[in-house]
Chains A and B, each alone.
Chain A
Amino acid sequence: MSDQEKASAYWKANVSLLTKLLVVWFVVSYGFGIMLVDLLNQISIGGYKLGFFFAQQGSIYVFVALIFIYVRQMNKLDRKFDVHED
């Protein structure tokens, strides 16, 4: 692969990764926490109603996880396409 091709393949892989992660980001907050909250509130885990849990706790934990998954996967992509630092 030429540098040019490598760069555009790397960018494609990056965009595809972050699209997937943003879908999850959207589903847990806007989906579970807002649009589906009444439905999910029918289910309880411990003392939490599930919809309420996603709105005030769960979505935040998922956000943290998403960023660290992104960090990990991007470090792999950086090496795979040989665009990493150092």
Chain B
Amino acid sequence: MELQTWIYLAVGGTFALYIGIALWARAGSTKEFYVAGGGVNPIANGMATAADWMSAASFISMAGLIAFLGYNASAYLMGWTGGYVLLALLLAPYLRKFGKFTVPEFIGDRFYSQTARMVAVLCLIVASVTYVIGQMKGVGVAFGRFLEVDFETGVLIGMGIVFVYAVIGGMKGITYTQIAQYCVLIFAYTVPAIFISLQLTGNPLPQLGLGSTLSDGSGMAVLDKLDQVVTDLGFAKYTEPGGSQLNVFLLTASLMIGTAGLPHVIIRFFTVPKVSDARKSAGWALVFIAILYTTAPAVGAMARMNLMDTIQTGEVGSPQGNLAYEERPQWMKNWETTGLLQYEDKNGDGRIQYYNDQNPDFADKAAAFGWQGNEMVKVDRDIMVLANPEIAQLPNWVIALVAAGGLAAALSTAAGLLLAISSAISHDLLKGAFMPDISEKGELMAGRIAMAGAILVAGYLGMNPPGFAAQVVALAFGLAASSIFPVLMMGIFSKRVNNVGAISGMLAGLISTLVYIFVYKGWFFVVGTNWLPNDAAHWLFGIAPESFGAVGALINFAVAMVVSRLTAQPPEHIQELVESIRIPRGAGDAHAH
């Protein structure tokens, strides 16, 4: 069958499935809308959490990042998984015991302050909105590349699908579609990986394949060979660190703390029946996430190997050793038309030289070979996953599957974020602050309207991304790490931290992190307004803006502790509240009040 037919089948089929689920799982109460009725099986919730968490970035971009950064991408792998240990041990069970609908609601009650709740709402909305822009872009890109429709049309179709199941079903609809989306995305991710691992090493498990010897008869291990191939062309060694280890350390910490503090992930744990289920569910979530996250390093390394081997067909430096441009494979032609691959014949020999021309130690060698610069002037990282099936010459249905998987990853995360945003608006802002007497029916309607509004805003921003779209990940994780995680943790583990302490801590963490990011990336990301150039030489102690969230979290902890010591103890009933959330018994259902 034609590739395009397969893609229509795969994408159309999965979309029909999501809509079918939406019609079946309608939300009839606020409890169903906010926490899916509170009766979700912990393993099913683990699966939904995995889809909620793994975004377009995890599915499309991460393996490419690993392919080009090698060891230095480890911060993302450890950071985005290690956060679940913090979530399971430090937050999820206690917040489930507290048993309310939103994260700001806990902060408002525990710190007996409407101001604290509003600051939390603000942090939540900024973090989630910036995050959702990336998902909408991902939907548009996936559609544009695979279905040959405009970027805008792609975003509109994506908005329409999310609209159907998120507005009608709320958390209930989102939960069951996320479970379906997890199955689609993990199948789509692992099938090509298994094929490629088999081709290169003969081992069907990519995790083992990455540690095996190549089946080309050379007897070399995959990673040793890759180290050799890349260093022969002047690139840095794949398996060894380069650059500041302090920065890797802090980036890992920021991503871990940020992961544990992201509200759209936390609220998933409000949907399980019991405290012990919340713990268990976090474990299962990480199992389902780990399946993709331990496969990604294999996909990255093997895709890099395939790419290098395709271009450097023979000995480095021999005139026949490089691929002739006219003989390039079909997949290179396909991706050149998208502009994600670009070739420029700098020395006019009609062959492709792909090497590191920024490496001064390699410059003499290259000159002696008659090379006049790297000729693959653009190799977009995202290609590594998207073109992988073509590079490995896999059948058309696998390529179609990857398209459906990328869409599932983007849509599931977008829906989770949109729910976090709309529940903060209808539950924390409207019912919590402006219209406390609103009826249950009214609040449910408000939730649906907020969801519809959030989808429109997200879609609009996805189509007209503010200049900072690329920076949003740093911002979302930085905010979650520096403002939300520390107050949640102190709210549970300290009886002494009071309202003034929590508010000052949140603001100190938030502002210090924002300022540090803005100084290097421009104030409010306006290009050209940065005070210092964004490079390692100018970073404070070599800390990149992306890595500052962990420092912001420390500032938050320190300020909250000190200010609380200097001001009055929390009242008696708050200390009792803390004691009660520390004990599983009596959790009951999640409820409004």
Verify that A and B bind, or say they do not.
Answer: yes
- Please give the residue numbers on chain A whose beta carbons come within 8 Å of chain B beta carbons, in ascending order: 7, 10-11, 14-15, 18, 21-22, 25, 29-30, 33-35, 37-38, 41, 45-49, 52-53, 55-57, 59-61, 63-64, 66-68, 70-71, 74-75, 78, 83-86
- Please give the residue numbers on chain B whose beta carbons come within 8 Å of chain A beta carbons, in ascending order: 66, 71, 74, 77-78, 81-82, 84-85, 88-90, 93, 207, 210-213, 221-224, 239-241, 245, 248-249, 252-253, 274-276, 279-280, 282-283, 286-287, 290, 293-294, 297, 493, 579, 582-587
Q: Give 15 new A-B contacts, CB below 8 A, not counting A10-B583, A11-B582, A38-B241.
A: A7-B579, A7-B582, A14-B582, A37-B241, A47-B211, A47-B221, A49-B223, A52-B223, A53-B211, A56-B297, A59-B82, A63-B82, A64-B287, A67-B283, A78-B276
Q: How far is the CA of A86 from the CA of B88 in the complex (A)?
A: 21
Please name the residue on chain A nearest to B212 by beta carbon: A47
Pick from B77, B90, B587: contact of A60, CB under 8 Å: B77
Contacts of B279 in A (CB 8 A): 67, 70-71, 74
- Once the chains bind, are A83 and B583 in contact (CB under 8 Å)? yes
- Once the chains bind, are A57 and B294 in contact (CB under 8 Å)? yes
Q: How far is the CA of A70 from the CA of B493 in the complex (A)?
A: 17
User: Can you list 22 contacts pairing A with B, beta carbon distance less than 8 Å?
Assistant: A7-B582, A7-B583, A18-B89, A30-B249, A37-B240, A37-B245, A38-B240, A41-B239, A47-B223, A47-B224, A48-B221, A49-B223, A52-B223, A63-B84, A66-B85, A68-B283, A71-B283, A74-B276, A78-B584, A83-B584, A85-B584, A85-B585
Contacts of B293 in A (CB 8 A): 60
- Once the chains bind, are A34 and B252 in contact (CB under 8 Å)? yes
Pick from A10, A14, A49, A70: contact of B88, CB under 8 Å: A70
- Once the chains bind, are B275 and A33 in contact (CB under 8 Å)? no
Q: How far is the CA of A14 from the CA of B93 in the complex (A)?
A: 12
Q: How far is the CA of A83 from the CA of B93 in the complex (A)?
A: 14
Contacts of A64 in B (CB 8 A): 283, 286-287, 290
- The A interface, classified by DSSP as helix, strand, loop or mixed, is helix
- Once the chains bind, are A57 and B582 in contact (CB under 8 Å)? no
Pick from A63, A75, A86: contact of B85, CB under 8 Å: A63
- Once the chains bind, are A71 and B294 in contact (CB under 8 Å)? no
The distance from the CB of A44 to the nearest CB of chain B, in whole angstroms, is: 8
Q: How far is the CA of A41 from the CA of B241 in the complex (A)?
A: 10
Contacts of A48 in B (CB 8 A): 210-211, 221, 223
- Once the chains bind, are A22 and B252 in contact (CB under 8 Å)? no
Q: How far is the CA of A33 from the CA of B297 in the complex (A)?
A: 14
The distance from the CB of B305 to the nearest CB of chain A, in whole angstroms, is: 13
Q: How far is the CA of A15 from the CA of B212 in the complex (A)?
A: 41
Contacts of B586 in A (CB 8 A): 85
Contacts of B287 in A (CB 8 A): 64
Please name the residue on chain B nearest to A24 by beta carbon: B85
How many contacting A-B pairs (Cβ < 8 A)? 139
The distance from the CB of B530 to the nearest CB of chain A, in whole angstroms, is: 28
Contacts A47-B212, A48-B211, A85-B585 given; does A67 touch B223 at CB 8 Å: no
The distance from the CB of A65 to the nearest CB of chain B, in whole angstroms, is: 9
Which of B81, B90, B586 has the most CB atoms of chain A within a 10 A radius of its CB?
B81
- Once the chains bind, are B221 and A21 in contact (CB under 8 Å)? no
Please name the residue on chain B nearest to A55 by beta carbon: B74
Q: How far is the CA of A37 from the CA of B88 in the complex (A)?
A: 27
Which of A21, A22, A57 has the most CB atoms of chain B within a 10 A radius of its CB?
A57
- Once the chains bind, are A33 and B74 in contact (CB under 8 Å)? yes
Contacts of B84 in A (CB 8 A): 63, 67
Contacts A22-B89, A85-B274 given; does A55 touch B77 at CB 8 Å: yes
Q: How far is the CA of A21 from the CA of B338 in the complex (A)?
A: 48
Pick from A22, A63, A70: contact of B81, CB under 8 Å: A63
Please name the residue on chain A nearest to B245 by beta carbon: A34
Contacts of B579 in A (CB 8 A): 7
- Once the chains bind, are B245 and A67 in contact (CB under 8 Å)? no
Nearest 10 CB-CB pairings of A with B: A47-B221, A55-B74, A67-B283, A56-B297, A46-B211, A48-B211, A47-B211, A52-B239, A18-B89, A67-B88
- Once the chains bind, are B283 and A55 in contact (CB under 8 Å)? no
Please name the residue on chain B nearest to A10 by beta carbon: B583
The distance from the CB of A19 to the nearest CB of chain B, in whole angstroms, is: 9
- Once the chains bind, are A63 and B222 in contact (CB under 8 Å)? no
Q: How far is the CA of A48 from the CA of B239 in the complex (A)?
A: 9
Q: How far is the CA of A14 from the CA of B81 in the complex (A)?
A: 22
The distance from the CB of A38 to the nearest CB of chain B, in whole angstroms, is: 7
Contacts of B221 in A (CB 8 A): 46-48
The distance from the CB of B534 to the nearest CB of chain A, in whole angstroms, is: 23
Contacts A57-B297, A67-B84 given; does A34 touch B249 at CB 8 Å: yes
- Once the chains bind, are A59 and B89 in contact (CB under 8 Å)? no
Q: How far is the CA of A22 from the CA of B586 in the complex (A)?
A: 27
Q: How far is the CA of A57 from the CA of B239 in the complex (A)?
A: 13
Q: How far is the CA of A45 from the CA of B210 in the complex (A)?
A: 12
Pick from A10, A15, A18, A57: contact of B207, CB under 8 Å: A57
Contacts A29-B82, A30-B252, A48-B223 given; does A84 touch B71 at CB 8 Å: no
Contacts of B274 in A (CB 8 A): 85-86
The distance from the CB of B298 to the nearest CB of chain A, in whole angstroms, is: 9
Please name the residue on chain A nearest to B256 by beta carbon: A29
Contacts of B93 in A (CB 8 A): 74
- Once the chains bind, are A85 and B81 in contact (CB under 8 Å)? no
Q: How far is the CA of A45 from the CA of B212 in the complex (A)?
A: 10
Contacts A66-B85, A78-B584, A85-B587 given; does A61 touch B212 at CB 8 Å: no
The distance from the CB of B2 to the nearest CB of chain A, in whole angstroms, is: 37
Contacts of B222 in A (CB 8 A): 47
Q: How far is the CA of A71 from the CA of B1 in the complex (A)?
A: 48
Contacts of B213 in A (CB 8 A): 47
Contacts of A59 in B (CB 8 A): 77-78, 81-82
- Once the chains bind, are B71 and A63 in contact (CB under 8 Å)? no
The distance from the CB of A34 to the nearest CB of chain B, in whole angstroms, is: 5
Contacts of A25 in B (CB 8 A): 82, 85
Contacts of B66 in A (CB 8 A): 56
Q: How far is the CA of A37 from the CA of B287 in the complex (A)?
A: 25
Q: How far is the CA of A11 from the CA of B97 in the complex (A)?
A: 15
Q: How far is the CA of A15 from the CA of B492 in the complex (A)?
A: 12
- Once the chains bind, are A61 and B290 in contact (CB under 8 Å)? yes
Contacts of B241 in A (CB 8 A): 37-38
